[in-house]
Chains A and B, each alone.
Chain A
Amino acid sequence: MIGGKSTTLDARRKHSTATIAAVFLLPVAFFLFVYLFRSIFHMFQLSGYSWSGISRTRDFIGWGNWQRLLNDQNFFNAIGNNLIMVFACLAIQIPVGLLLAYIVDWANRRFKSLKLVYFLPLLMSAVAIGFLFKQLYDARFGLIGVMLGWFMDIPFNVLSNEQTALWAVIAVICWQFIPFYMLYFFAGLTTIPEELYEASIIDGAKRHQYIFRVSLPLISGVIKNASILCLVGSLKYFDLIYVMTEGGPAGATELMATYMYKTAFTQMRMGYGATVSSGMFIIITIISLATFKIMSMNFRRGGKIT
């Protein structure tokens, strides 16, 4: 009798849990479905059509767009630029960020505002940074352009030169994101207990020995995560590049995202734009999933804010 009653209570509780779960998850599910899942599906569907985006009719051409994509020099050029950017950003942002994190950590007791100064670039939006540096690179009226001119026979704007444009843009991206990695590493450094440093010094370690033998190994997980963020982030850049160069000159700074935007919205080729977008989606998703797999151990632990 009692047993029977408790099972119905249990069943009722389960039932109410299911109802609440369904109701509480509904809004999130709605937004994710409408804007993400449906969009991805729709994108792949569109990649089979030749369509301007305006006309009422669209022609189904099957794999036609995909064949064109595989032979599209511009797309592969964009992938190449994206890859150069990934490696350059990893090679510059992570070491400089790390160095600054150590400097800030070391200076923190005496000179706290150093961190706040270094933080400044994070206050600006990518669009604002893009326009600011576009002016700064001006060979006659820009701070950097004029300074670069001191080292050049005939001063030119580094943004409008095919050889230098990509590196000029990478320098700005580094300026924008180094503070982020600095703060990320700094947060990692502050989790190392003070006693560890004291113990190493008492044991006769020099400061550089402490850094290379004790603290760097301790934050290696943090460095790994930062590298993954940097890698995946570099594959998605759009705003800053589009504002500074629109992918030019002659495709020298074209990235997958800028190429996709220009195909779909400037040239009004929605169908082919969707194909470029799908290609980009596949490349980024594969790389992201692979890196998520690698960091999954750290990933589970994350999501804490104190």
Chain B
Amino acid sequence: MIQQRRLTPAAMVAVLFALFWVLVTALPFFFMFMTSFKTQPELFQSGSVFALPDALYFGNYIEILTGRFFMYLRNSIIVCSLAVVVLLIISSMASYVFSRLKFRMNAVLFSVVIACMAIPIHATLIPVFILTRDIGLYDQPLALVGPYIAFNIPVSVFVLTGFMKTIPVELEESAEIDGASKVRTFLSIIMPLAIPGLATLAIYNGINMWNEFIYALVLTSSVQSRTLPLAIWEYQGQYGVNIPMVMTILALSVMPMIIAFLILQERLIKGMMVGAVKG
């Protein structure tokens, strides 16, 4: 044990690499926040990008927060919360069927749903765009809800079915002997016990939808209906060369995630790793 404490050359290299990677990870964030507190002339005139800001300048933040930022934020919140809630409800219903009910087509239907994980969702971009336009949802936040639900069904059903299989059946059996119907056991026994799985999935799907870009780009076109990832896109076009302003938008857009990370920590990490089952 004492022998292990001595630093071998290999361990030295490991420590150096660990520190190097801390820099690689943190420097872009540091640069982003640092630059967001500079004014544009300050960045252009000072000789070095490494210079710290002269003073904490909040003008960039004020300009963006008094603009349309909250409209984008509101759209993102509406789309994501609606899609996550509907997705989790319908996925739990399907997972209950796959994990509990015995009928002939069960395994086949389950494989069909799971096989959808292999579909590259970009391939559906053109048809979904045409469909959205034809049913009159084009350029409304609601247009995004349907695709967001559909694309996340396979992973959610896969994970929830696995989770529900780990819930012991004895509870339901005794409830059924007491005369409870299948719908009743689903609502009052399975669903409460599935909450940890649902929470993890809510995090995973919520983050996915929060960051989704290409469908939001194609299915909406006006400011009133665009979500946060598009806000970055549009501010970039608007401010272009104003680097501190662009950095401010980036900083603001990552802020909700950093707050969520500070609150949830391990829970959030676990939620994001659900993606590991996805192909």
A residues within 8 Å of B by Cβ? Answer: 14, 16-18, 20-21, 24-25, 27-28, 31-32, 34-36, 38-40, 42-43, 46, 53, 99-100, 102-103, 106-107, 114, 116-128, 131-133, 135-136, 138, 141-143, 146, 175, 179-180, 183-184, 187, 201, 207-208, 225-226, 228-229, 232, 235-236, 238-239, 242-243, 257, 260-261, 264-265, 270, 273-274, 277-278, 280-281, 284-285, 288-289, 291-292, 302-305
Whether the Cβ atoms of A31 and B149 lie closer than 8 Å is yes
Residue from B119, B123, B258 in contact with A278 in the complex, judged by beta carbons closer than 8 Å: B123
Q: Is B109 an interface residue (CB 8 A)?
A: yes
Whether the Cβ atoms of A175 and B90 lie closer than 8 Å is no
Query: Which residues on B sit within 8 Å (CB–CB) of A242?
Result: 214
Q: How far is the CA of A141 from the CA of B18 in the complex (A)?
A: 27
Q: How far is the CA of A43 from the CA of B213 in the complex (A)?
A: 21
Whether the Cβ atoms of B116 and A39 lie closer than 8 Å is no
Q: How far is the CA of A228 from the CA of B275 in the complex (A)?
A: 13
Q: Is B22 an interface residue (CB 8 A)?
A: yes
- What are the 6 A-B residue pairs with the smallest beta carbon separation, nearest first? A303-B162, A125-B211, A35-B150, A39-B124, A39-B127, A27-B90
Tell me the smallest distance from the CB of A35 to a CB of chain B, in Å. 4
Query: Which residues on A sit within 8 Å (CB–CB) of B128?
Result: 35, 39
Query: Which residues on B sit within 8 Å (CB–CB) of A43?
Result: 123-124, 126-127
Which of B27-35, B57-65, B67-75 participates in binding chain A?
B27-35
Interface size for B (C-beta < 8 A) is 97
With A53-B130, A135-B247, A302-B162 as known contacts, state yes or no: A235 contacts B31, CB within 8 Å: no
Tell me the smallest distance from the CB of A122 to a CB of chain B, in Å. 6
Query: Which residues on A sit within 8 Å (CB–CB) of B4?
Result: 201, 207
Closest to B230 in A: A127
Residue from A25, A103, A121, A236 in contact with B18 in the complex, judged by beta carbons closer than 8 Å: A103
Closest to A120 in B: B25
Show 23 residue pairs from A and B whose CB-CB distance is below 8 angstroms, ordered by the A residue. A14-B103, A24-B186, A31-B90, A35-B131, A36-B150, A39-B127, A119-B269, A120-B29, A124-B250, A124-B254, A125-B229, A126-B213, A131-B236, A131-B246, A132-B28, A135-B243, A135-B246, A143-B31, A180-B272, A243-B213, A270-B126, A280-B123, A281-B120
Whether the Cβ atoms of A46 and B162 lie closer than 8 Å is no
Q: How far is the CA of A142 from the CA of B118 in the complex (A)?
A: 38
Query: Which residues on A sit within 8 Å (CB–CB) of B29?
Result: 120
Query: Which residues on A sit within 8 Å (CB–CB) of B210?
Result: 125
Q: How far is the CA of A208 from the CA of B9 in the complex (A)?
A: 12
Whether the Cβ atoms of B122 and A292 lie closer than 8 Å is no
The digit string for B254-279, where 1 denotes a CB below 8 A from any CB of A, is 10011001000100011011111111
